[in-house]
């Protein structure tokens, strides 16, 4: 029970700060410039830096998944136990939702607001499959080298993912859900949220298939 409590708090706090960083840096960038490229650079750098620090700090507490797809693949590969999977996912969703509310509040916006930012298209759906596949594959490929290797790999991959994918590499269903509730630079319209989440799950499952073939002994 004590270990499960640590897992919950680790994932909850990490997920909360992750979304605050993603959404908050997007709002700050939006307030400071009208140049979309500059906004994306600012959002990218803050997210990459935040991921490195959060994974480094919380890796020994819960594994620092902050992502339901990562937790599911960890469960499928027997890295975490059956009785913890719901703890991981519930903590991640709740943490992400608190994170978006706090980010909105810090910038004097309504705590919850539905995003009007449309992100449609099969191209973006495909991008999210690719982004999530890459994220999960890279995590499993670097785990043997320790948490700092994972932190560095995830941070740099997501930094790159902002720029090489048309979806800007959400790659996380809990984060995607939370970003539905901010009508700012990093938001996503609720009509597009289900497609993103489906794509992320498909990317995770594809990664699991490949990982099982070449990485997991």
Instruction: DSSP for 97-138, please give it.
Output: HHHHHHHHHHTTS-SS--------SHHHHHHHHHHHHHHHHH
Which 8-state DSSP code applies to residue 80?
A: S
Q: Give pLDDT, residue 215.
A: 82
Task: Give the pLDDT confidence of 61-85 residue by residue, as tens digits.
Answer: 999 999 999 999 999 999 999 999 9
CB neighbour list of residue 145: distance below 8 Å, 6 or more residues apart: none
Q: Which domains does the chain have, with CATH numbers?
A: 2-214 (1.20.1080.10)
Q: Give pLDDT, residue 85.
A: 96
Closest among 103, 116, 2, 129 to 46, alpha carbons compared:
103
Given a cut of 70, is residue 217 above it in pLDDT?
no
Closest among 124, 119, 94, 105 to 16, alpha carbons compared:
94
Q: What is the pTM of this model?
A: 0.96
Q: Work out the angle at residue 71's Cα, subtended by the Cα atoms of residues 69 and 76, and round it to the nearest 5 degrees.
A: 95
């Amino acid at each position: 029970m004590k270990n499960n409590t640590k897992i919950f708090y680790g994932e909850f706090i990490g997920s909360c700060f992750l979304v605050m960083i993603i959404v908050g840096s997007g709002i700050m960038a939006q307030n400071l410039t009208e140049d979309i490229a500059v906004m994306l650079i600012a959002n990218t750098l803050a997210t990459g830096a935040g991921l490195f620090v959060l994974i480094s700090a919380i890796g020994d507490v819960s594994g620092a998944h902050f992502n339901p797809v990562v937790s599911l693949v960890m469960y499928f590969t027997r890295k975490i136990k059956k009785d913890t999977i719901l703890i991981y996912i519930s903590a991640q969703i709740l943490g992400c939702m608190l994170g978006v509310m706090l980010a909105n509040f810090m910038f004097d916006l309504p705590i919850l607001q539905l995003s009007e930012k449309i992100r449609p298209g099969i191209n973006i759906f495909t991008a999210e499959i690719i982004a999530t596949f890459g994220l999960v594959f890279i995590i499993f490929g670097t785990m043997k080298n320790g948490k700092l290797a994972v932190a560095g790999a995830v941070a740099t991959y997501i930094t790159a993912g902002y720029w090489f994918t048309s979806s800007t590499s959400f790659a996380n269903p809990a984060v995607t859900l939370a970003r539905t509730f901010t009508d700012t630079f990093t938001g996503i319209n609720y009509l597009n949220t289900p497609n993103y989440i489906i794509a992320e799950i498909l990317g995770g499952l594809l990664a699991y298939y490949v990982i099982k073939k070449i990485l997991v002994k």
